[in-house]
Amino acid sequence: MAETNFSTVVEFILLGFSDLASLQGFLFGIFLFIYTSILVGNGLIIVITKVTAALQTPMYFFLRNFSFLEICYTSVTIPRMLSDLWTQKKNISLLACGIQLAILLSLGGTESFFLSVMAYDRYVAICKPLYYPVIMNHKKCLQLVTGAWLIGIPIQIAQTCQIFSLSFCGSNELSHVFCDIPPLLKLACGDTSLNELSVYAGATIFVTVPSLLILWSYTKIIKTILKLPSAVGRHKAFSTCSSHLIVVGLFYGSGFITYLRPKSNHSPGVDKVLALFYTIVTPLFNPMIYSLRNKDVIAAIKQLVSKCLS
């Protein structure tokens, strides 16, 4: 099977935005600006949460790791997109495509579990504030972060190997901006029902399970907040969770639609938009969401800027 795969198709053509030939330069500028903004914004969060004494708490430790993850996540796809737009060479080898897919899926799984870890941190902080320093100690935080980084790697590599064990014959044009499961399955020969089932199983593990954990955490959080006697206390508690909930909605919303839809409902245009949404939009808005809605982060940024200017 694998031999047929490689003898039939030796590379894919990432069509990307080839249907917008007159806008290639404009799109390059837009994506370059977005990628630069992601690097600068998330890099700034990493720096200020590392050097600011007031931000040495578990919540900002997780946020620092999450921002680093966002940089890694976008670096798997955007530089390749920029290269394709600049050189107009859209071919990608099977090996490069497989590596890109494996890394992308692994980092996506990591992000999914990171969001559930951050929800658990808010649950402990709000529902068990007296025990928070004991439960969320440094060792526990390291274990949670390490687990989130590593838990998805073996499963996602196995799923990538399963996808690339299929035979790809006929057209090698991948109607997408990077290598992803839905467009690859469209080019596969023969029956792919087992592979689709595998995709749904993977989505259940990496999308549904973490989202249910987040739902459980916030159900407990909301019940606790509503019991607070002070309106100011309720508002403060909600504000510490709102940024995280916005990021959760952006990531899981696009993830559910992308990987839990039947193959027959996939269209290249919609797939491209959703792909850009969960690989670019969330990392782009992550720094703004967490900084503009967080007084401690804003104060830390002002303090850092004043030190640099003095």
What are the residue boundaries of the structural domains of the chain, listed by start? 22-309
Helix then strand count (H, E) for the chain reads 15, 3
3-state secondary structure of 12: strand
pLDDT of residue 2: 43
Tokens of 203: 């989505």
Inter-residue contact 162 to 185 (CB < 8 Å): no
pLDDT of residue 250: 77
CA R_g for the chain: 21
Task: Tell me the pLDDT tens digit for each residue of 224-248.
Answer: 888 877 777 677 777 767 777 878 8
Residues 6+ apart with CB under 8 A from 60: 49
Residue (of 57, 18, 71) closest to 284 by Cα position:
71
Inter-residue contact 255 to 112 (CB < 8 Å): yes
Stated as kind and residue range, the H or E segment containing 91 is strand 91-93
Residue 91 φ then ψ, to 5°:
-80, 145
Query: Model pTM?
Result: 0.85
List the strands of the sheet with 91-93, edge to edge.
Answer: 91-93, 11-14, 173-174
Determine the Cα angle at 206 with ends 204 and 212, to 5°: 70
pLDDT of residue 6: 42
Residue 9 φ then ψ, to 5°:
-125, 120
pLDDT of residue 5: 41
Q: Which residue stretches of 9-75 are H helix? A: 24-51, 58-75
- Name the stretches of the chain with pLDDT < 50: 1-7
State how far the Cα of 150 lies from the Cα of 140, in Å rounded to an integer.
15
Long-range contacts of 256-261 (CB under 8 A, 24+ apart): 256/203, 256/207, 256/211, 258/182, 259/181, 259/182, 259/199, 259/200, 259/202, 259/203, 259/207, 260/200, 260/203, 260/207
State how far the Cα of 21 lies from the Cα of 19, in Å rounded to an integer.
6
pLDDT of residue 224: 87
Kindly report the CATH class assigned to 22-309: mainly alpha
Distances (CA, A) of 30 to 34, 78, 178: 6, 11, 17
| Distance, C-alpha 122 to centroid of its chain | 20
Residue (of 124, 131, 74) closest to 286 by Cα position:
74
Inter-residue contact 13 to 94 (CB < 8 Å): no
